[in-house]
Amino acid sequence: MSVYWVGDIQGCDEPLAQLLDQVGFSASRDRLYVLGDLVNRGPSSLAVLRRLHDLGTSVQCVLGNHDLHLLALSAGARKMGASDTFQDILQAPDKDTLLHWLKHQSIAIYQEEVLMVHAGVLPQWSLAETLSLALELEGILQSDGAEAFFLNMYGNEPAQWQPQLQGMDRWRCALNAFTRLRFCSSTGAMEFETKENAAKAPQGYMPWFEVPHRQTANTTIAFGHWSTLGAVQRQDVWALDTGCVWGGCLTALQRDRTEDVPTRIEIKCPKYQKPF
């Protein structure tokens, strides 16, 4: 049995199929964790959702910002953007089945002694607090109030987490950390404008995983979202978005049950979109 973690797929089904074929992935034996942004920007978002859905319980995903954008759009809370490429999903006969499956994926997962999120974890959150907040958000996304949530989830404020936050301010702040975070201050104030690599942190900010005394420093965290960061494989963080949709690689880590250190696998991808 092997366990796999894969970074942002973003509608690139051909590289995903090549990866699964190369490792001989077996749905009855292996486990696959996808770190968000399953869809959008690439040419085959529908095929990606169908492939992952059909793998059944062998696959677990966390939701990324592009996945939430699709769910918001399908709920009528958002309009299609010029660079969006999931029209095929919205016109598919199995659209409702696939969107129901997507909505019931996770915001955070803790399995295999690895915490999985799409973007990041604020430095003041413990592992228990992170999972509790994720569960809170998942309950909202899967509830009858999801449409109202989608209408109000966009925005950069509040950028600083406070435990006493309530309602949409609380949920928006937490969701931004889980799905959009790259840089924050030493107190956890988030910065959303900069999309460059870690060396180009804006003044007063740093990569979220470099904040001193981060509460989850002793937990291995796997994440995607940050293509300009490149692959990072340390004891405490695994960054696995290597710009598949921009002509980089689809990157995965493979760990057998008898191994401590996972092996990196890279599938070179065509260039589907220009970098932001």
Token pair, residue 23, equals 């490792």
- Position 275 scores a pLDDT of 61
For the chain, the distance separating the N- and C-terminal CA atoms, rounded to the nearest angstrom, is 38
Q: Tell which residue, 193, 53, 177, has the closest CA to residue 115.
A: 177
Strands 31-34 and 59-61: parallel
Residue-wise pLDDT for 158-207, tens only, equals 999 999 999 999 999 999 999 999 999 999 999 999 999 999 999 999 99
Task: Confirm whether pTM is higher than 0.85.
Answer: yes
Q: Are 179 and 225 in contact (CB under 8 A)?
A: yes
Write the DSSP assignment of 68-121 as a string of letters.
Answer: HHHHHHHTTSSPPPTT---HHHHT-TTHHHHHHHHHTSBS-EEETTEEE-SS--
- Position 53 scores a pLDDT of 98
Asked if residue 44 has pLDDT above 90, the reply is yes
Q: How far apart are CA 6 and CA 246, in angstroms?
A: 16
- Domain residues of the chain, as ranges? 2-154+215-268
- Position 233 scores a pLDDT of 96
Average pLDDT estimate for 210-235: 96
Q: Are 63 and 179 in contact (CB under 8 A)?
A: yes
Strands 237-239 and 220-223: parallel
Residue-wise pLDDT for 229-276, tens only, equals 999 999 999 999 999 999 999 999 999 977 778 999 999 998 887 665
Strands 31-34 and 2-6: parallel
Q: Are 156 and 192 in contact (CB under 8 A)?
A: yes
Q: How far apart are CA 213 and CA 14, in angstroms?
A: 41
Q: Which amino acid type is present at position 26?
A: S
Residue-wise pLDDT for 62-108, tens only, equals 999 999 999 999 999 988 999 999 999 999 999 999 999 999 999 99
Task: Supply the CATH classification number for the domain 2-154+215-268.
Answer: 3.60.21.10
